Structure 1
Amino acid sequence: MITEENKLSIRNFLKPGDLGQVAALHGKIYGEEHGFPIGFEMYVMESLIEFYRQFDEERDRVWVVESKGRMVGFLLLMHRNENSAQLRYFIIEKPFRGIGLGKELMQKWMEFFEEKNYQSAYLYTTSGLDPAISLYERYGFVKISEEKTENFGFPMLEILYRLEKA
């Protein structure tokens, strides 16, 4: 939970430098914790450009988590075709995990999803991210497929999750 003690804030708008920080967080965390090569950071940078070019403040939302003015977490909802949304770039620095922040961000993501009346959503993740996968499943995302790939320059298992509105 976000409290005065841990001095976290969440904002829903982008400032200059944010996109670079999101890519850097992904590169650093996935590199250190999961052995992802720099190709993954490059992929994040390229896909953030795609997001920003089609950004629509009515249909898209970012959650920028900061501690003492420094980005320590991030999540976004990106609109897609056919009244669908994509959950992307969900990341939290290690010292800020286990305090309910991930759950809070996921709840805010779901509230925006409902508010904008999206009919479905999807996300891609990889094996080895069990806490995140557990969180997605608690919010109704269902595993659709798994595929062995080398998209980022090393072998990995990519997993597609989908959420369908009842």
Structure 2
Amino acid sequence: MNQNKAQIRYLLLEPLLRGKGIGNQLISKAITFATEKNISSIILWTNSELTAARKVYENFGFEIMQSKQSYLSGKHLTEDCWRLDLLK
């Protein structure tokens, strides 16, 4: 089995671009690219406050694999590592 893995490091949209489906398009393109390159899975980290982004990841089939409590930007947050397996 191919063990190549990809990570989406940052997915950030300017506030004026949010809610227009651009995040969905970017994730879709990332999945298509990874599939074409025979990548076995994609991982990404996000936090509990980013509810819209989390919904996008969930809709594409990403699943939470790990969670940890963090103190970021002056707040206590839950960080989650999400994974999408592409080669099954």
TM over 0.5: yes
Which of 3, 10, 18 lines up with 1:97 in the alignment? Answer: 18
Q: Distance in 2 between matches of 1:98 and 1:145?
A: 27
Matched to 1:118, the amino acid is I
| Residue 151 (structure 1) shift | 5.6
Q: Distance in 1 between matches of 2:72 and 2:24?
A: 29
Kindly tell me: are residues 153 and 137 of structure 1, through their superposed partners in 2, closer, same or farther at Cα, counting changes over 3 Å?
Answer: same
| Residue 102 (structure 1) shift | 1.1
Per mean C-alpha deviation after superposition, the further-off stretch among 145-154 and 104-113 is 145-154
Corresponding residue pairs, total: 85
Which of 11, 27, 46 lines up with 1:106 in the alignment? Answer: 27
Matched, 1:160 2:58: no
Aligned to 1:139: 60
Unmatched 5+ stretches in structure 2 = none
Matched to 2:53, the amino acid is A
| Residue 89 (structure 1) shift | 0.8
Q: Distance in 2 between matches of 1:130 and 1:160?
A: 14
Q: Distance in 1 between matches of 2:20 and 2:74?
A: 33
| Residue 128 (structure 1) shift | 1.3
Q: Which has the higher contact order (CA 8 A, sep 6+)?
A: 2
Kindly tell me: are residues 151 and 99 of structure 1, through their superposed partners in 2, closer, same or farther at Cα, counting changes over 3 Å?
Answer: closer
The CA RMSD measured in Å over matched residues stands at 1.5
Unmatched 5+ stretches in structure 1 = 1-81
Identity of aligned residues (%): 35
TM-score (norm 1): 0.48
